């Protein structure tokens, strides 16, 4: 009797299935890392957080809008002749700010309002000239004789209006945890830049409460941050034993660092001469409070806060020497952003398997 061929259905051994799955997983992880690298590279470079800015002109020149050529900073004569005031948009202790126009471009004209504070005004101008970078509002011209400064206009204004801006329909898509974390990173990047500036270690003294801090910075149309007010920026020089004091009045409240508060108790009246000076670590103390404002109360922000808990706790150490540097804080923020973006992308990776 002839035997019929016996066909046996062969199944892929479990080990081979596992190898295929492993290969797919590896490919997915590599793809995810490539996407993540490109995303973060875009953020750190072309989006404007690099230390150097290819759009910046040589010292004493500026480029505005779509114009390709650099123009010299406007002189007193040019400002008087070519700049037209439109309306007053703000007034502080030192200067009044006008929305103005120059050659069909919106610009900002700042003028001294209190002659007793002219030294502060001129110090701010000196800092503005010396610190021109991606982190600082663009200087367009000035007139020392008339105590006038001309800078680039940013229609979204100061950071005090951030939450209101994010509720405008046009910008609602920006109201995400990662965009808010990027704003916090911008802020820390500016602090890091000031602490390692070309002039030395500078302390942001106009920062006695959250509202005051937010008023010192501008929100750009592409959602980055620039420091705008540099009137109170003293220099720390440890090698020369030079520390700073932010003003000559007593500072109170939990927002300012412990070393900025009167250390001798209520029973002893405040005396400026007896107040000990301090260094740039006062800026580090304030980072968690400012970042908490940036993160807001949206989906995902509490997870970000949880990941930042340890570095923020370190920022709040009572001993200034034990607080991290701005660079260390920024490095941690970057690691957290990378981690959370990877975790957010992983569910999609698992679906591929």
14-44 and 326-351 helices, crossing angle to 10°: 140
Same domain membership, residue 306 and residue 202: yes
For 60-83, write each residue's pLDDT tens digit. 999 987 788 999 999 999 999 999
With the CA atoms of 328, 257, 160 and 49 taken in that order, what torsion angle do they form, in degrees rounded to the nearest 10? -20
> Which DSSP helix (H) or strand (E) runs through 18?
helix 14-44
Rg value, the chain, Cα? 26
For 250-262, what is each residue's pLDDT tens digit?
A: 999 999 999 999 9
Please say if the pLDDT value at position 128 is more than 60. yes
Q: For position 133, which CATH number holds?
A: 3.30.200.20
E strands in the chain: 61-62, 71-72, 83-91, 95-102, 105-112, 139-143, 148-152, 201-202, 217-219, 225-227, 235-236
Q: Is residue 51 a part of any domain in this protein?
A: no
Q: Do 242 and 268 have their domain in common?
A: yes
Q: Give the mean model confidence (pLDDT) for residues 185-189.
A: 98
Q: Are 109 and 186 found together in one domain?
A: no
Q: Where are the alpha helices (DSSP H) in 45-117?
A: 76-82
Are 222 and 307 in a shared domain?
Answer: yes
User: Is residue 37 pLDDT above 80, yes or no?
Assistant: no
341 & 198 share domain: yes
Q: Which of 235-244, 310-319, 321-330 has the lowest mean pLDDT?
A: 235-244
Lowest-confidence range among 8-12, 60-64, 123-127, 337-341? 8-12
Shared domain for 161 and 140, answered yes or no, is no
pLDDT at 13: 53
198 and 89: one domain? no
DSSP 94: S
Same-domain pairing of 111 and 184: no
Count how many domains the chain has: 2
Query: What does the pLDDT read at residue 148?
Result: 97
Specify the pLDDT at position 345.
75
- For residue range 107-127, what is the model confidence (pLDDT) as tens digits? 999 999 998 999 999 999 999
Higher pLDDT, 213 or 350: 213
- pLDDT for 238: 87
CATH at residue 189: 1.10.510.10
Token pair, residue 319, equals: 């001993």
Same domain, 184 and 311: yes
Instruction: Find the domain containing 102 and state its range.
Output: 70-152
Q: Is the pLDDT of residue 193 over 60?
A: yes
Residues 177 and 111 occupy one common structural domain: no
Mean pLDDT across the stretch 320-344? Answer: 95
Is residue 323 in some structural domain? yes
């Amino acid at each position: 009797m002839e035997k019929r061929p016996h066909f046996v259905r062969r199944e892929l051994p479990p080990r081979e299935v596992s190898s295929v799955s492993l290969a797919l997983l590896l490919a997915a992880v590599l793809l995810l890392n490539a996407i993540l690298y490109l995303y973060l590279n875009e953020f750190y470079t072309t989006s404007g957080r690099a230390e150097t800015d290819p759009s910046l002109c040589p010292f004493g020149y500026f480029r505005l809008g779509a114009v390709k050529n650099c123009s010299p900073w406007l002189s007193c004569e040019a400002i008087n002749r070519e700049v037209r005031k439109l309306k007053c948009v703000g007034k502080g202790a030192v200067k009044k700010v006008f929305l103005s126009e120059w050659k069909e471009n919106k610009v900002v004209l700042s003028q001294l309002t209190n002659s007793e504070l002219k030294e502060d005004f001129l110090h701010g101008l000196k800092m503005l000239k010396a610190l021109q970078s991606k982190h600082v509002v663009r200087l367009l011209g000035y007139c020392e004789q008339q105590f006038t400064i001309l800078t680039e206009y940013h229609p979204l204004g100061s950071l005090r209006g951030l939450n209101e801006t994010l509720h405008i329909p046009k910008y609602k898509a920006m109201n995400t945890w990662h965009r808010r974390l990027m704003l916090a990173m911008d802020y820390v990047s500016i602090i890091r830049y000031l602490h390692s500036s070309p002039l030395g270690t500078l302390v942001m003294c106009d920062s006695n409460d959250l509202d005051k801090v937010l008023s010192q910075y501008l929100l750009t149309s592409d959602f980055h941050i620039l420091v705008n007010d540099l009137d109170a920026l003293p220099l720390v020089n440890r090698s020369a034993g030079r520390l700073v004091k932010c003003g000559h009045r007593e500072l109170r409240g939990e927002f300012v660092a412990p070393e900025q508060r009167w250390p001798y108790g209520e029973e002893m009246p405040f005396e400026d001469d007896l107040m000990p000076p301090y260094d740039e670590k006062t800026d580090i103390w304030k980072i968690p409070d400012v970042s908490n404002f940036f993160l807001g109360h949206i989906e995902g922000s509490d997870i970000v806060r949880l990941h930042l808990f340890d570095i923020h706790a370190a920022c709040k150490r009572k001993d200034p020497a034990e607080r991290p540097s701005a660079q260390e804080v920024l490095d941690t923020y970057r690691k957290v952003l990378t981690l959370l973006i990877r975790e957010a992308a992983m569910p999609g990776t698992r679906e591929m398997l």
